[in-house]
Amino acid sequence: KAKIPAAHGQHLKIYFDGTGTVTKIEGLETIPESQPGLPASKEAILTAPPL
């Protein structure tokens, strides 16, 4: 199992419609400017291609 530290003050909610398309994202303002193990910017996260 990956050791993931507890996150504090982060409340990211991503809403999907019936086809799996993201319709709304809330809580982006709670994401720190940088986090270890994640893309360096919010833009990189939001523009990442679907898996």
Q: Does the pLDDT of residue 2 top 70, yes or no?
A: no
- Joined tokens for residue 35: 């986090």
Q: What is the pTM of this model?
A: 0.35
Q: Dihedral through CA 7, CA 29, CA 40, CA 13, nearest 10?
A: 60
pLDDT for res 4:
59
Q: How far apart are CA 51 and CA 31, in angstroms?
A: 22
pLDDT for res 43:
63
pLDDT for res 15:
84
Q: How far apart are CA 5 and CA 50, in angstroms?
A: 25
Give start and end residues of each alpha helix (H) in the chain.
42-46
5-43 pLDDT tens trace: 665 556 678 888 889 888 887 776 666 655 556 555 566
